[in-house]
Amino acid sequence: MTDMTTAVGRPESDQRPSPTVAQRQGWSRWNARLIQAFLALTALVWLAPLLYTLYTSLRPYSDTAARGYVSLPGTLNLENYVAAWTQADMPQFFWNTIIVTIPAVVLTLLLSSMVAFAVSRFSLASNLTLLIIFTAGNLLPQQVIITPLYRLFLLIPLPEFLSDSGVLFDSYLGIILIHVAFQMGFCVFVLSNYMKTLPRELTEAALVDGTTVWAMYWRIILPLSRPPLAALATLQFTWIYNDFFWALVLMQSGDKRPITSAIGSLGGLYFTDNNLIAAGALLAAIPTLVVFLVLQKQFVRGLTLGSTKG
């Protein structure tokens, strides 16, 4: 791996013409190897907890009981996964996750792209105020608003078919709405920054041609915003999937909680030994690990869009 250093490394740092070329090249090659060794070691340390979790999850409890947790395996199988899946009622919790996450992501992107479109394409007096309200709202710790929010959710009535509790509290819709309300802040900020970089003439010309505002949004700006929308969809899916707090407090019925909240609050009941904990944790992490493996680029783009303005 080290032999590739010079080929891959930046030419300007390795072959810079200067009086001390030979000296510098020798030093920087040695330096590069040291850095690589450090990075490789750090990467290994970073992967270790997850690799250990995977290893433990594949060993039956009897195997670790007899040989200890730090040992070579006698048997490896998927027993723990089967047990965690059935004992902890995971199919139900995954279904709850789907009911909450998909509408929440779609609504978040739809509503925040509307606001972003309006503030980036029209000079309204309220533009800056709106952007500040949305951006700041997203930065508040969730616990700052939870006490009145909890009361508010108990006071808002819902028809029977939307909530068996009759109110927003303890309903799927309530969880979806608080995700949308909270996550919109970040998305409005990111999307409006992106839409501001699209040429003004696009919509100015359309406006002169008599295109309606809605068509401008739906047929011109939204299709052009596909790159940040894809990145944000990936990011929002991960964040909403990973949420523990909202569903813990605002969803009282344990059997209606999405997977992360469900195992976070009740995991100890089902997962009686470390092998089961490992399998349960990995099962709950599968969708996000898929994001990591398949949509890494989109996820990273989503994260950095908020900090680098485009």
Partner 1 sequence: MTATTTAPRSRRRRPRRRERFLTRRDVVVLAVMIGIPTLLHVGFVWFPTLASVLLSFTSWDGIGGLGTITPAGIENYRNVVTIYPPFWPAIAHNVLWLVFFLLVATPFGIFLALLLDKELAGTRFYQSALYLPVVLSLVVIGFIAQLIYAPEQGLINNLLSRTEPGEVIDWLGNPRINLWAVLIMASWRHVGYIMILYLAGLKSVDPTLKEAAAIDGASESQTFFRVVFPVLRPINIVVLVITVIESLRAFDIVYVINKGTNGLELLSILITNNIIGEASRIGFGSALAVILLVVSLGAIVPYLYVTFRKDQAA
Q: Which of residues 90-149 bind partner 1 (CB under 8 A)?
A: 111-112, 114-115, 117-119, 122-124, 126, 128, 130-137, 139-149
Contact 13, 28 (CB under 8 A): yes
In sequence order, the 6+-apart residues with CB closer than 8 A to the CB of 130 are 115, 119, 188
Fill in the DSSP letter of residue 273: S
Contacting partner 1 (CB under 8 A), which of 26, 30, 35, 77? Answer: 35
Contacting partner 1 (CB under 8 A), which of 15, 62, 86, 212? Answer: 212
Contacting partner 1 (CB under 8 A), which of 217, 225, 256, 298? Answer: 217
Hey, is 170 helix, strand or coil? coil
Q: How far is the CB of 123 from partner 1 (least distance, A)?
A: 4
Residues in 38-97 at the binding interface with partner 1, rule: CB under 8 A = 38-40, 42-44, 46-47, 49-50, 52-53, 56, 64, 68-70
Q: How far is the CB of 161 from partner 1 (least distance, A)?
A: 21
Q: How many residues bind partner 1 (CB under 8 A)?
A: 124
* Cα 53 to Cα 277: distance, rounded to the nearest angstrom: 9
Q: Select 43 or 66, whichever has its Cβ closest to partner 1.
A: 43
Q: How far is the CB of 270 from partner 1 (least distance, A)?
A: 12
Residue type, 138: N
Contacting partner 1 (CB under 8 A), which of 87, 99, 167, 306? Answer: 306
Q: Select 119 or 233, whichever has its Cβ closest to partner 1.
A: 119
The dihedral through the CA atoms of 255, 257, 258, 261 has a sign that is negative
Of 91-99, 159-167, 212-220, 224-232, the segment contacting partner 1 by CB under 8 A is 212-220
Rounded (5°) CA angle 172-93-286: 120
Residue type, 287: P
Of 98-106, 157-165, 179-187, 223-231, the segment contacting partner 1 by CB under 8 A is 179-187
Residues in 239-298 at the binding interface with partner 1, rule: CB under 8 A = 241-245, 248-249, 260-261, 263-264, 267, 271, 273-274, 277-278, 280-281, 284-285, 288-289, 291-292, 296
What distances in angstroms separate CA 162 from CA 142, 156, 165, 224, 258, one per listed residue? Answer: 25, 12, 9, 35, 17
- CA-wise closest residue to 32 among 47, 13, 54: 13
Q: How far is the CB of 236 from partner 1 (least distance, A)?
A: 13
Does the footprint of partner 1 cover residue 11 (CB under 8 A)? Answer: no
Q: Select 162 or 181, whichever has its Cβ closest to partner 1.
A: 181
The burial of 3, by beta-carbon neighbours within 10 Å (0-12 exposed, 13-18 middle, 19 or more buried), is given as exposed
Contacting partner 1 (CB under 8 A), which of 83, 90, 100, 188? Answer: 188
Does the footprint of partner 1 cover residue 23 (CB under 8 A)? Answer: no
* Cα 55 to Cα 78: distance, rounded to the nearest angstrom: 11
* Cα 126 to Cα 28: distance, rounded to the nearest angstrom: 54
Of 85-93, 158-166, 223-231, 237-245, the segment contacting partner 1 by CB under 8 A is 237-245
Q: Select 92 or 218, whichever has its Cβ closest to partner 1.
A: 218
